[in-house]
């Protein structure tokens, strides 16, 4: 008997089908006994194990041999019209994972960023998540008590080592406030259990956009107390807790980083 329970024959939505979204999409139909899974991304093609693959093809591969209807949707999460139409097509969403985000010009000093860099990051990372919540609520697309809206809030390393894009960090700071300051309202007014996950970097396209960034990713792995790097399975495990009937957390951001950002004591002479 599992310690965690879920509503079966439900509908889940994954917004952002990158490494984390792909892993969850592949496993969630069986883990949850889903009747329907909606995969949402901005691109018609996604990077699957190093190969550019049509989103529809990936959806078909997830559905193959199972009993879950898997639907692929391509849209701009910052567009109110497109997201409203998404929720007009898909109702009774019980589980959501939102991973969509961009990191403009990583490792660029803040004073060298343009207005477009910063506003562009905020438009996708902050407004995009807000827009998903807004349009879903206004369309009545969430169930009478949605079990969980999980937002990949920010990298755990933001603020600890300055390895990300400054525009990314600024936009994710706003998203952290959305999670922590508005969560009680979303629960009391709309029945949405809103939580977040802050992972340390994964080894994927976003975290290795250039040789310097890739080198810093290796440095994270070298210093990881628990060993190795954060993997999609670690994010999925945290998501499944937040999605469970037993989850008693609201407005929490779970740092999933293998202890990397925790205080490192120094003993002996300095």
Instruction: Kindly give the confidence (pLDDT) of every residue in the chain, 270 residues in length, as a single tens digit, with 9 standing for 90 and above.
Output: 678 999 999 999 999 999 899 999 999 999 999 999 999 999 999 999 889 999 999 999 999 989 999 999 999 999 999 999 999 999 999 999 999 888 888 778 899 999 999 999 999 999 999 999 999 999 999 977 788 888 876 665 554 555 568 898 889 889 999 999 999 999 999 999 999 998 887 776 655 556 766 777 788 888 888 888 889 999 999 999 999 999 999 999 999 888 888 887 878 776
Each as own residue / partner, the long-range contacts of residues 112-115 (CB below 8 Å, 24 or more positions apart, any chain) are: 113/166, 113/167
d(CA 75, CA 104): 20
> Strand, coil or helix: what is 79?
coil
**CB 198 within 8 Å of CB 154:** yes
21 within domain boundaries: yes
134 within domain boundaries: yes
261 within domain boundaries: no
This prediction's pTM: 0.91
Separation in Å, CA 2 to CA 29, 34, 133, 164, 241:
17, 17, 30, 38, 12
Query: Structural domain of residue 23, as residue ranges?
Result: 11-255
264 within domain boundaries: no
128 within domain boundaries: yes
Give the pLDDT confidence of 15-48 residue by residue, as tens digits: 999 989 999 999 999 999 999 999 999 999 999 9
* Domains in the chain, number: 1
54 within domain boundaries: yes
CATH number, position 67: 3.40.50.720
Residue 69 backbone dihedrals phi, psi, to 5 degrees: -75, 125
d(CA 186, CA 179): 10
123 within domain boundaries: yes
d(CA 119, CA 253): 24
Sign of CA dihedral 167, 183, 89, 94: positive
262 within domain boundaries: no
């Amino acid at each position: 008997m599992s310690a965690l329970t879920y509503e079966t024959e439900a509908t889940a939505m994954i917004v952002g089908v990158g490494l984390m979204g792909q892993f969850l999409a592949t496993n969630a139909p069986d883990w949850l006994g889903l009747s329907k899974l909606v995969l949402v991304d901005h691109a018609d093609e996604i990077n699957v194990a190093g190969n550019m693959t049509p989103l529809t093809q990936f959806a078909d591969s997830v559905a193959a041999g199972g009993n879950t209807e898997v639907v692929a949707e391509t849209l701009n999460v910052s567009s109110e019209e497109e997201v409203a139409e998404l929720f007009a097509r898909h109702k009774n969403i019980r589980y959501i994972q939102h991973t969509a985000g961009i990191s403009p010009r990583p490792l660029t000093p803040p004073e060298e960023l343009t207005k477009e860099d910063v506003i562009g990051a905020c438009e996708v990372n902050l407004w995009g998540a807000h827009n998903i919540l807004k349009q879903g609520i206004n369309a009545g697309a969430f169930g009478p008590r949605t079990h969980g809206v999980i937002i990949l809030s920010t990298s755990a390393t933001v603020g600890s080592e300055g390895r990300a894009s400054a525009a990314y960090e600024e936009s994710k700071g706003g998203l952290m406030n959305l999670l922590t300051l508005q969560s009680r309202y979303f629960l009391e007014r709309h029945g949405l259990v809103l939580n977040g996950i802050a992972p340390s970097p994964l080894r994927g396209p976003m975290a290795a956009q250039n040789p310097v960034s890739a080198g810093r990713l290796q440095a994270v792995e070298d210093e990881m107390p628990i060993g190795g790097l954060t993997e999609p399975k670690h994010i999925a495990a945290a998501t499944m807790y937040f999605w469970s009937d037993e989850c008693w957390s609201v407005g929490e951001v779970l740092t999933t980083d293998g202890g990397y950002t925790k205080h490192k004591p120094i003993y002996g002479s300095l």
